[in-house]
Amino acid sequence: MTMLEQLDRGISADEIGIETARHGNLVLRSAFQLIYRRDGDTLRAVAAEGFLRPFDKGMPIAPRPFLASLKAAERALVERYAVALHLANHRHIDVEGLDHVLAVGIGAGFADDLPLFLVRAEVPASRLICTFRNPSAFAPGTLSVVARTLKALGARVAIGGLVEEQPPVGAIRSLEPDIARIDGSWFRRVAESESARRLLPDLVGGFRAQGAQVLVEGIETRHQLAAALEAGVDLFQGFLLSSPLLAGTAIDTATIDLPDIFSDEANVIPLFGPLFGRA
Protein backbone atom coordinates (compact mmCIF):
# COMPACT_ATOMS: atom_id res chain seq x y z
CA MET A 1 0.00 0.00 0.00
CA THR A 2 1.41 3.40 -0.99
CA MET A 3 1.63 6.32 1.44
CA LEU A 4 -1.22 8.16 -0.29
CA GLU A 5 -3.37 5.03 -0.17
CA GLN A 6 -2.69 4.74 3.56
CA LEU A 7 -3.64 8.37 4.06
CA ASP A 8 -6.81 8.12 2.02
CA ARG A 9 -7.80 5.01 3.92
CA GLY A 10 -7.43 6.69 7.31
CA ILE A 11 -8.69 10.19 6.45
CA SER A 12 -12.29 11.29 5.97
CA ALA A 13 -13.95 14.65 5.36
CA ASP A 14 -17.19 16.09 6.70
CA GLU A 15 -19.88 17.86 4.68
CA ILE A 16 -17.89 21.11 4.44
CA GLY A 17 -14.57 19.45 3.66
CA ILE A 18 -12.87 19.48 7.09
CA GLU A 19 -10.62 16.42 7.20
CA THR A 20 -9.95 14.19 10.22
CA ALA A 21 -8.02 10.94 10.58
CA ARG A 22 -8.62 7.85 12.66
CA HIS A 23 -5.81 6.07 14.50
CA GLY A 24 -7.15 3.11 16.40
CA ASN A 25 -9.87 4.46 18.67
CA LEU A 26 -8.60 8.03 18.41
CA VAL A 27 -9.73 10.78 16.06
CA LEU A 28 -6.96 13.15 14.92
CA ARG A 29 -7.87 16.74 14.13
CA SER A 30 -6.08 19.93 13.07
CA ALA A 31 -5.87 23.12 15.08
CA PHE A 32 -4.38 26.36 13.78
CA GLN A 33 -2.76 29.36 15.44
CA LEU A 34 -2.02 32.56 13.54
CA ILE A 35 1.44 34.10 13.27
CA TYR A 36 1.77 37.85 12.76
CA ARG A 37 4.22 40.26 11.16
CA ARG A 38 4.55 43.89 12.14
CA ASP A 39 3.26 46.41 9.61
CA GLY A 40 3.73 49.91 10.99
CA ASP A 41 1.47 50.29 14.03
CA THR A 42 -0.32 47.00 13.37
CA LEU A 43 0.26 43.25 13.41
CA ARG A 44 -0.95 41.42 10.31
CA ALA A 45 -1.55 37.66 10.04
CA VAL A 46 0.93 36.14 7.59
CA ALA A 47 0.98 32.45 8.52
CA ALA A 48 -0.90 29.77 10.43
CA GLU A 49 0.76 26.92 12.29
CA GLY A 50 -0.92 23.53 12.33
CA PHE A 51 -1.08 21.48 15.54
CA LEU A 52 -2.28 17.90 15.95
CA ARG A 53 -5.18 17.43 18.35
CA PRO A 54 -6.05 13.81 19.25
CA PHE A 55 -9.50 13.00 20.66
CA ASP A 56 -10.65 9.91 22.53
CA LYS A 57 -14.44 9.45 22.55
CA GLY A 58 -14.87 13.14 21.87
CA MET A 59 -12.51 14.28 24.63
CA PRO A 60 -9.14 15.93 23.83
CA ILE A 61 -5.96 14.24 25.05
CA ALA A 62 -2.50 15.77 25.40
CA PRO A 63 -0.66 15.58 22.05
CA ARG A 64 2.92 15.34 23.35
CA PRO A 65 2.47 12.26 25.61
CA PHE A 66 0.38 10.64 22.89
CA LEU A 67 3.14 11.03 20.30
CA ALA A 68 5.80 9.93 22.77
CA SER A 69 3.87 6.72 23.46
CA LEU A 70 3.89 5.60 19.83
CA LYS A 71 6.30 3.12 18.32
CA ALA A 72 8.47 4.42 15.48
CA ALA A 73 6.29 3.11 12.64
CA GLU A 74 3.10 4.34 14.30
CA ARG A 75 4.59 7.75 14.96
CA ALA A 76 5.75 8.10 11.35
CA LEU A 77 2.21 7.38 10.14
CA VAL A 78 0.61 9.78 12.64
CA GLU A 79 3.08 12.51 11.65
CA ARG A 80 2.08 12.04 8.04
CA TYR A 81 -1.60 12.16 8.97
CA ALA A 82 -0.89 15.47 10.72
CA VAL A 83 0.79 17.01 7.69
CA ALA A 84 -1.94 15.82 5.32
CA LEU A 85 -4.67 17.15 7.62
CA HIS A 86 -3.02 20.52 8.22
CA LEU A 87 -2.37 21.15 4.53
CA ALA A 88 -5.89 20.13 3.51
CA ASN A 89 -7.64 22.05 6.30
CA HIS A 90 -5.54 25.19 5.95
CA ARG A 91 -7.71 26.33 3.05
CA HIS A 92 -10.60 26.92 5.46
CA ILE A 93 -8.78 29.85 7.10
CA ASP A 94 -10.10 32.95 5.40
CA VAL A 95 -6.86 34.83 4.68
CA GLU A 96 -5.47 35.17 1.17
CA GLY A 97 -1.84 34.05 0.79
CA LEU A 98 -1.42 32.76 4.34
CA ASP A 99 1.74 30.65 4.72
CA HIS A 100 1.59 27.13 6.17
CA VAL A 101 3.77 26.28 9.19
CA LEU A 102 4.29 22.59 9.92
CA ALA A 103 6.47 20.60 12.30
CA VAL A 104 9.01 18.34 10.62
CA GLY A 105 8.38 14.73 11.63
CA ILE A 106 11.28 12.76 13.08
CA GLY A 107 10.17 9.59 11.29
CA ALA A 108 12.33 8.40 8.40
CA GLY A 109 11.37 9.60 4.94
CA PHE A 110 9.38 12.67 5.99
CA ALA A 111 11.02 15.03 3.50
CA ASP A 112 10.79 12.45 0.72
CA ASP A 113 7.03 12.06 1.25
CA LEU A 114 6.29 15.77 1.54
CA PRO A 115 5.82 16.37 -2.23
CA LEU A 116 2.98 13.82 -2.16
CA PHE A 117 1.21 15.79 0.56
CA LEU A 118 1.64 19.07 -1.32
CA VAL A 119 0.18 17.59 -4.51
CA ARG A 120 -2.71 16.07 -2.57
CA ALA A 121 -3.61 19.42 -1.00
CA GLU A 122 -2.72 21.48 -4.10
CA VAL A 123 -0.37 23.65 -2.05
CA PRO A 124 2.82 25.15 -3.58
CA ALA A 125 6.00 24.41 -1.64
CA SER A 126 6.80 28.13 -1.61
CA ARG A 127 3.94 28.65 0.88
CA LEU A 128 5.36 26.08 3.32
CA ILE A 129 7.52 26.71 6.41
CA CYS A 130 8.87 23.51 7.96
CA THR A 131 9.87 23.74 11.64
CA PHE A 132 12.51 21.57 13.31
CA ARG A 133 11.31 21.70 16.91
CA ASN A 134 13.52 18.90 18.19
CA PRO A 135 16.85 18.89 16.34
CA SER A 136 18.41 16.50 18.86
CA ALA A 137 15.90 13.79 17.90
CA PHE A 138 17.54 13.40 14.49
CA ALA A 139 20.45 11.05 13.93
CA PRO A 140 23.84 12.78 13.49
CA GLY A 141 24.11 14.30 10.03
CA THR A 142 20.43 13.68 9.24
CA LEU A 143 19.20 17.13 10.21
CA SER A 144 21.22 18.96 7.57
CA VAL A 145 20.23 16.43 4.88
CA VAL A 146 16.52 16.82 5.66
CA ALA A 147 16.84 20.62 5.73
CA ARG A 148 18.58 20.66 2.34
CA THR A 149 15.90 18.37 0.88
CA LEU A 150 13.12 20.65 2.10
CA LYS A 151 14.85 23.75 0.73
CA ALA A 152 15.37 22.00 -2.61
CA LEU A 153 11.60 21.49 -2.79
CA GLY A 154 11.13 25.23 -2.39
CA ALA A 155 9.99 25.17 1.24
CA ARG A 156 11.41 27.44 3.92
CA VAL A 157 12.99 26.06 7.09
CA ALA A 158 12.58 27.19 10.70
CA ILE A 159 14.42 25.89 13.72
CA GLY A 160 13.95 26.25 17.46
CA GLY A 161 10.97 26.56 19.73
CA LEU A 162 11.97 23.74 22.06
CA VAL A 163 10.15 23.97 25.37
CA GLU A 164 12.21 25.58 28.13
CA GLU A 165 15.35 25.76 25.98
CA GLN A 166 17.31 28.76 24.81
CA PRO A 167 17.53 29.45 21.06
CA PRO A 168 19.76 26.86 19.30
CA VAL A 169 22.54 29.18 18.19
CA GLY A 170 24.80 26.39 16.90
CA ALA A 171 22.10 24.78 14.79
CA ILE A 172 21.18 28.14 13.29
CA ARG A 173 24.78 28.70 12.25
CA SER A 174 25.07 25.27 10.64
CA LEU A 175 21.64 24.96 8.98
CA GLU A 176 21.15 28.58 7.88
CA PRO A 177 17.37 28.46 8.41
CA ASP A 178 14.98 31.07 7.09
CA ILE A 179 13.42 31.53 10.54
CA ALA A 180 14.83 31.22 14.07
CA ARG A 181 12.13 30.46 16.64
CA ILE A 182 12.43 31.56 20.26
CA ASP A 183 10.53 29.31 22.66
CA GLY A 184 7.77 31.00 24.61
CA SER A 185 8.69 29.57 28.02
CA TRP A 186 12.28 30.76 27.68
CA PHE A 187 11.21 34.13 26.28
CA ARG A 188 8.68 34.77 29.05
CA ARG A 189 11.34 34.24 31.71
CA VAL A 190 13.70 36.62 29.91
CA ALA A 191 10.96 39.23 29.42
CA GLU A 192 10.33 39.36 33.17
CA SER A 193 13.98 40.13 33.95
CA GLU A 194 14.98 43.70 33.21
CA SER A 195 18.67 42.84 32.82
CA ALA A 196 18.02 39.79 30.62
CA ARG A 197 15.47 41.66 28.54
CA ARG A 198 18.09 44.23 27.57
CA LEU A 199 20.07 41.44 25.87
CA LEU A 200 17.22 40.45 23.54
CA PRO A 201 17.96 43.02 20.80
CA ASP A 202 21.52 41.67 20.48
CA LEU A 203 20.23 38.08 20.28
CA VAL A 204 17.69 39.00 17.62
CA GLY A 205 20.25 41.06 15.72
CA GLY A 206 22.68 38.14 15.75
CA PHE A 207 20.14 35.79 14.20
CA ARG A 208 19.15 38.34 11.59
CA ALA A 209 22.82 38.92 10.73
CA GLN A 210 22.96 35.22 9.84
CA GLY A 211 20.04 35.63 7.45
CA ALA A 212 17.26 34.33 9.69
CA GLN A 213 14.07 36.14 10.55
CA VAL A 214 13.13 35.82 14.22
CA LEU A 215 9.83 34.48 15.54
CA VAL A 216 8.87 34.75 19.21
CA GLU A 217 6.19 32.27 20.24
CA GLY A 218 4.17 31.95 23.42
CA ILE A 219 3.39 35.66 23.86
CA GLU A 220 0.72 35.80 26.56
CA THR A 221 0.80 39.33 28.00
CA ARG A 222 1.20 42.89 26.79
CA HIS A 223 4.44 43.12 28.73
CA GLN A 224 5.85 40.19 26.75
CA LEU A 225 4.60 41.66 23.47
CA ALA A 226 6.33 44.93 24.33
CA ALA A 227 9.58 43.05 24.98
CA ALA A 228 9.32 41.35 21.59
CA LEU A 229 8.60 44.64 19.84
CA GLU A 230 11.50 46.37 21.57
CA ALA A 231 13.82 43.51 20.58
CA GLY A 232 12.92 44.01 16.92
CA VAL A 233 11.63 40.51 16.19
CA ASP A 234 10.02 39.83 12.82
CA LEU A 235 7.18 37.43 13.67
CA PHE A 236 4.86 37.18 16.68
CA GLN A 237 2.82 34.25 17.99
CA GLY A 238 0.92 33.54 21.21
CA PHE A 239 -2.37 33.42 23.08
CA LEU A 240 -2.44 37.20 23.49
CA LEU A 241 -2.76 37.51 19.72
CA SER A 242 -4.53 34.32 18.64
CA SER A 243 -5.46 31.03 20.31
CA PRO A 244 -5.10 27.67 18.50
CA LEU A 245 -8.54 26.73 17.19
CA LEU A 246 -9.78 23.52 15.63
CA ALA A 247 -10.12 23.47 11.86
CA GLY A 248 -13.60 24.60 10.92
CA THR A 249 -13.81 27.08 13.81
CA ALA A 250 -14.08 30.72 12.78
CA ILE A 251 -10.68 32.36 13.31
CA ASP A 252 -10.44 36.11 13.80
CA THR A 253 -7.92 37.17 11.17
CA ALA A 254 -8.34 40.92 11.59
CA THR A 255 -5.29 43.15 11.74
CA ILE A 256 -4.27 43.92 15.34
CA ASP A 257 -3.81 47.59 16.22
CA LEU A 258 -0.83 48.00 18.56
CA PRO A 259 -1.87 51.31 20.17
CA ASP A 260 -5.21 49.72 21.06
CA ILE A 261 -3.49 46.82 22.83
CA PHE A 262 -1.54 49.21 25.05
CA SER A 263 -4.18 51.95 25.30
CA ASP A 264 -4.99 51.40 28.99
CA GLU A 265 -1.39 50.97 30.15
CA ALA A 266 -0.48 53.67 32.64
CA ASN A 267 3.03 53.95 31.23
CA VAL A 268 2.12 53.56 27.58
CA ILE A 269 3.67 56.86 26.45
CA PRO A 270 7.22 56.60 27.87
CA LEU A 271 7.58 52.83 27.52
CA PHE A 272 5.76 52.01 24.31
CA GLY A 273 5.38 55.34 22.51
CA PRO A 274 8.62 55.07 20.47
CA LEU A 275 7.46 51.70 19.15
CA PHE A 276 4.61 53.25 17.22
CA GLY A 277 4.99 54.99 13.91
CA ARG A 278 7.85 52.81 12.69
CA ALA A 279 8.19 49.23 11.44
Domain presence at residue 167:
yes
Q: Is the pLDDT of residue 273 over 80?
A: no
Count of the separate structural domains present in the chain? 1
Q: Is residue 278 part of a domain?
A: no
> How far apart are alpha carbons 201 and 218 in whole angstroms?
18
Residue 2 lies in a domain: no
**Domain-located, residue 145:** yes
Residues 6+ apart with CB under 8 A from 270: none
Write the pLDDT tens digit of every residue in 91-102. Answer: 888 777 899 999
How far apart are alpha carbons 17 and 114 in whole angstroms?
21
Domain assignment present for residue 124? The answer is yes
Burial class (CB in 10 A: 0-12, 13-18, 19+), 111: buried
For residue 10, tell me if it sits in a domain. no
pLDDT tens digits, one per residue of 209-232: 989 999 999 999 999 999 999 999
Q: Is 275 domain-assigned?
A: no
**Predicted local distance difference test score (pLDDT) of residue 145:** 87
Can you give the pTM of this predicted structure?
Answer: 0.90
Task: Answer yes or no: is pLDDT of 265 > 70.
Answer: no
pLDDT over 50 (residue 270): no
Q: What is the pLDDT of residue 44?
A: 96
* High-pLDDT (> 70) share of the chain, %: 89
Give Cα 216 to chain centroid, integer Å.
10
- Strands 156-160 and 179-182, by their bridges, are parallel
The total of other beta-carbon atoms located within 10 Å of residue 56's CB is: 12
279 domain-assigned: no
CATH number for position 255: 3.20.20.450
Q: Which structural domain range is residue 63 located in?
A: 18-268
pLDDT digits (tens, 9 = 90+) for 79-119: 999 999 999 999 888 777 899 999 887 766 788 888 988 99
